[in-house]
Amino acid sequence: MLRLLLNDFQVPARLLADPSGAGERILTDLLHLAELLQQASTLLEGEQAVIRYLVEQCQSCAELNNEANQIRLESDADLVQIVTVFKSKGLEYPLVFLPFACAFRESKAGDLPMKWHDEAWQLHLALDNQNSVLARVDQERLGEDLRKLYVALTRARYATWIGVAPLSDLEKSALGYLLGGGQPLIQALETLRTGYPEITVNLSPEVNETHYKGREERKGEGIARTSRRVVRDVWWIASYSALHPASGKGKTADTAGEDIFLEAIEAPSQSVTGQRDQTSQSFGPLHHFFRGGSVGNFLHDLLEWCCEQGFGQVVNTPDLLRDTVARRCMLRGWQAWIEPLCDWLTHFLGMKLPMATDSFALADLDTCVAEMEFWMAVHTVDTQEIDALMIRHTLDGAPRPVLQPRLLNGMLKGFIDLIIEHNGRYFVIDYKSNWLGPNDAAYTHEAMRQAILEKRYDLQYVLYILALHRLLSLRLPDYDYDQHIGGAIYMFLRGTHAPSQGLFADSPPRALIEELDGLFVNV
């Protein structure tokens, strides 16, 4: 792509036409930098991160000793190149050295199958040395060696050095054949150069005990270097999970209880399948379902699949739903949960969500987007400033764990479980697999509100609403926050059969979203 872009704008042609002669150097450096950035991009997230990487590399000398960062030569035309005679065909070099010009490999009887051509130049194959086939095969080998020798002798522009030695059976080599063979080597070489002043015959130097020693470079002690502190910008990519409370132990909300799994996998009781249990007064089939981060991912992936298929299509096609649930459960050994999960999912997608102005079910929706990714630039924002805004504007100022003091500077990213549109209003939906208690009674509005506060889900859904607010302000010509934003709906999946339906809804005030938006852009 980059090379196509450079050619479209005629960058190489303009650089190479530079009368100063520096164009080739610039073009080489440009392509080298592009290659280094391409390699770095495989380890970084987004174009902004690649740009930041380039800035840091330009400001730092820490990796100058890295071989990949060494300045490359504009051209290898002036380098010593070691190539085979075959690969040198069609090329030209200023000087050529042929140290092994006399080398050859005589054809052997074991070189099977043997190939040769008859007088009509028809190819023949033989599996043994009958009728003196080997002599004909070796004659064709000599012909091929002569052709290669011709190629080698015609590559030089100025001069060629040929190494010759009185090897055994030298006359069977291509060079020995040209020298006539059968006569002493020195005499043959003198005969060759007769009448050709361009040819010089020199004897190789005599062997002695002298060893080559490279030029020693004496390095004296220089002036001590002065340390220069390089101040780097604190730039990083953050997400909601990185903004955990100061008192947190490293567990994120969705992974709390990650190590808790129920041992029993037997078929759920009747209360799981929908029959009312008079003792627990519970309809919910997921109260005894496994718990932990991997289980949360399982439910999230299943609901993402439902959105991609269409919630209504899933409800109206029970065979498709059961096939998908069965395949995913079989992979985990959860065969006993296939029917309960199908029943729960059908109920969940079809239950009415009682909103302030209207009620609707997920299965009734035509517009929804699952796992929408967002990126927002954040410039030197203190998390405590965010925290102060959250407490002032949400959940009646109720106490909650404070965020760990931190400076956000870079990008804020995230994935929203579900965005839906109903009657012109847009909602952010997040699925929560948190286990709040053993039956429906545990999923009261107050219990869910307390979980929201403890896990700081208030921060999560406000950031999601802000991302949605920015998106809609760019996409809707007549966008108005109060008119188009419906709010956030947090669905506690294990409490869908409780009187509360496991739903917690909140609509952050316009003032909070606008103040937070201004804080992020330093307005």
DSSP H/E element including 320: helix 318-332
SS3 373: strand
**DSSP string over 9-58:** TTHHHHHHT-TTS-HHHHHHHHHHHHHHHHHHHTTS-SHHHHHHHHHHHH
SS3 469: helix
The residue assigned the tokens 């380039």 is 54
**What's phi and psi for 218, nearest 5 deg?**
-85, 125
Angle value at C-alpha 213, between 211 and 216, nearest 5 degrees:
165
- Cα–Cα distance, 315 to 307 (Å, whole number): 11
- Cα–Cα distance, 402 to 383 (Å, whole number): 9
* Phi-psi label, residue 395: left if phi above 0, alpha if psi -120 to 50, beta otherwise: left
Pick the catalytic residue from 430, 440, 480, 506: 430
430 an active-site residue? yes
Per the omega criterion (within 30 degrees of 0), is the bond before 113 cis? yes
**DSSP string over 142-174:** HHHHHHHHHHHHT-EEEEEEE-----TTGGGSH
Give the list of residues 6+ apart from residue 24 with CB closer than 8 angstroms, or none. 15, 16, 74, 75
Q: For residue 493, give the nearest of 432, 451, 444 by alpha carbon.
A: 432
Q: Which residues are catalytic?
A: 430
